[in-house]
């Protein structure tokens, strides 16, 4: 009855939950990259939006101005993407790119147009997060028990479920932030907080198997944003401590397994037990703490002392990490110069058993970015047309790869839709993030959910700044949905 009353108070929750189920299924099917997957999904989202509009009859007056402005900018960017078909060399590719942008517009409207209550928004965010946690658990168990674990890997990097290692890492890491936040919130049932905490361990360890350098660089940036944005930071840090210990203990095993799989197909058979054990222990610790917290009500003085103690511990941890980091990387200027040279030099010679994470930044992305920047310089105002980078790279690329996308959201936008498209997309991002941060400041469970959903989007945005995540609908769709929810 309570659930029914909450759904009646926020009826748009039901189509949002159906969309979340679609996102989880899509994540398990190659991250929904194939057009045979995301086109039917787009029709499903369109049907949900049409039914919601017919039943709920949206009125624009109650909709926050930031939502209307953000939606207007994204609508204009979608129209501009369709208009770019006119000057694109490959009109079929431009049509696909514009349709994908339309899908993101439909998702944003579905999640942003109707207001949610704190409890219903938490249900939407929490069920998507738990769905990805279950996918991470399945991944760890499947890799550890499969007769041929190599099926889940590309070389020595996990490619499941996205069929692309960086996409696999992002699938799990996007969900890690709301899992961490919900594990720390007192409003979440005590028995569920432990599940979110243990799930964060599963998500982090599954991501490690992908050996994503983009993930390694994105996590520290987003971790800072997480603690800047989220309310009640000491609570989140207190939960992060056992999670961090568990990931630190299991990380060497995960990386070693990934490094050995090319020479030892049975290596992953040692992966599931330590990870599941670590996740279970963290879940028990956090569940016990949450249960104890639910049974007692400390005074304000005790709370203040606890918050100060945790805050001091957090500052000490940051200082320690900074000192260790400087000790590892050595002279920051010299290290930056070395990494820049390795980034420009292309793929390094691989050493058997060596970790991809320790072999510098070498890849062909520098050449991708060079060609994308050249496309923008030749067509600065309107770009070369949505999803038309592949044609330019075939003409001007120097590597033996044939990328279809620039591997950067910013360069994709500039090269393919020009300054006009970039201004429209920045307008959407600015208005939507401004509205999301205003929602965070409201506090309570609603503010916490807005924070968790915002950080989910920010992870996608940061990692997607040097990868082709806009083109992977199974990543872009949930990210846009979470921004709309916030």
Residue 34 is given by DSSP the state S
Q: What is the 3-state secondary structure (H, E, C) of 234-256?
A: HHHHHHHHHHHHHHHHHHHHHHH
Closest CA to 46 of 86, 8, 18: 18
Dihedral pair phi/psi, residue 410, rounded to 5° = -65, -45
Confidence at residue 324, expressed as pLDDT on a 0 to 100 scale: 57
How open is the CA angle 360-363-367, to the nearest 5 degrees? 130
Half-sphere exposure of 405 (CA within 13 A, CB side): 22
Alpha-carbon gap, residue 29 to 27, rounded angstroms: 5
Alpha-carbon gap, residue 341 to 297, rounded angstroms: 57
Closest CA to 457 of 429, 427, 424: 429
**CB-based contact 24:131 (threshold 8 Å):** yes
**CB-based contact 345:146 (threshold 8 Å):** no
Cα pseudo-dihedral 74, 77, 79, 80, rounded to 10: 180
Q: Please, what are the averages of pLDDT over each run of 10 residues along the chain (486 residues)?
A: 60 92 96 95 95 84 91 98 97 97 98 91 97 97 85 89 96 98 95 97 96 94 95 91 95 82 67 91 96 76 61 62 56 66 71 62 88 97 97 93 96 98 98 97 94 98 97 98 97
Confidence at residue 276, expressed as pLDDT on a 0 to 100 scale: 94
Alpha-carbon gap, residue 467 to 365, rounded angstroms: 9
Cβ neighbourhood burial of 12 (10 Å; 0-12, 13-18, 19+):
buried
Tell me the C-alpha to C-alpha distance, in Å, between residue 352 and each of 126, 188, 342, 396: 41, 46, 19, 33
Q: Is the peptide bond before 289 cis (omega within 30 degrees of 0)?
A: no
Strand partners, 154: 157
Alpha-carbon gap, residue 403 to 4, rounded angstroms: 49
Residues in contact with 246: Cβ distance below 8 Å, sequence separation at least 6, in sequence order: 201, 278, 279, 281, 282
Dihedral pair phi/psi, residue 209, rounded to 5° = -65, -25
């Amino acid at each position: 009855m309570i659930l029914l009353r909450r759904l009646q108070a926020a009826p748009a929750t039901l189509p949002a939950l159906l969309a979340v189920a679609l996102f989880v299924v899509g994540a398990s099917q190659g991250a929904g990259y194939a057009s045979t997957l995301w086109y039917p999904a787009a029709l499903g989202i369109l049907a949900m939006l049409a039914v919601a509009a017919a039943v709920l009859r949206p009125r624009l007056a109650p909709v926050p101005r930031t939502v209307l402005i953000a939606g207007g900018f994204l609508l204009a960017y979608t129209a501009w993407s369709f208009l770019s078909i006119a000057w694109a060399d490959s009109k079929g590719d431009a049509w696909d790119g514009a349709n994908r942008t339309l899908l993101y517009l439909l998702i944003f409207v579905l999640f942003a147009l109707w207001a949610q209550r704190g409890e219903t928004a938490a249900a939407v965010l929490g069920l998507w997060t738990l769905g990805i946690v279950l996918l991470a658990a399945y991944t760890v168990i499947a890799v550890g028990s499969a007769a041929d674990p190599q099926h889940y890997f590309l070389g020595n990097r996990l490619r499941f479920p996205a069929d692309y290692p960086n996409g696999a890492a992002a699938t799990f890491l996007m969900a890690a932030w709301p899992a961490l936040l919900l594990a720390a919130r007192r409003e979440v049932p005590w028995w569920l907080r432990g599940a979110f905490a243990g799930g964060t361990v599963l998500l982090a360890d599954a991501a490690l198997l992908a050996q994503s350098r983009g993930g390694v660089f994105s996590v520290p940036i987003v971790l800072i944003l997480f603690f800047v944005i989220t309310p009640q930071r000491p609570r989140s840090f207190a939960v992060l401590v056992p999670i961090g210990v568990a990931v630190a203990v299991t990380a060497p095993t995960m990386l070693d397994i990934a490094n050995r799989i090319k020479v030892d197909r049975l290596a992953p058979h040692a992966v599931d037990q330590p990870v599941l054990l670590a996740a279970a222990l963290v879940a028990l610790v956090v569940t016990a703490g949450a249960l104890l917290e639910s049974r007692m009500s400390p005074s304000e003085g005790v709370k203040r002392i606890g918050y100060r103690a945790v805050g001091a511990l957090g500052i000490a941890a940051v200082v320690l990490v900074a000192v260790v980091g400087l000790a590892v990387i050595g002279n920051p200027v010299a290290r930056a110069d070395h990494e820049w040279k390795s980034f420009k030099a292309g793929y390094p010679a691989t050493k058997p058993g060596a970790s991809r994470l320790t072999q510098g930044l070498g890849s062909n992305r520098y050449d991708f970015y060079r060609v994308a920047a050249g496309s923008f310089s030749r067509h600065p105002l309107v770009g070369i047309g949505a999803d038309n980078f592949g044609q330019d790279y075939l003409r001007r690329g120097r590597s033996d790869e044939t990328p279809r996308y620039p591997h950067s959201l910013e360069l994709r936008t500039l090269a393919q839709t020009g300054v006009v498209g970039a201004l429209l997309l920045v307008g959407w991002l600015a208005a939507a993030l401004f509205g999301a941060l205003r929602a965070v400041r409201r506090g309570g469970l609603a503010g916490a959910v807005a924070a968790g959903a915002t950080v989910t989007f920010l992870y996608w945005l940061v990692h997607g700044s040097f990868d082709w995540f806009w083109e992977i609908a199974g990543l872009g769709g949930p990210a846009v949905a979470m921004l709309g929810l916030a």
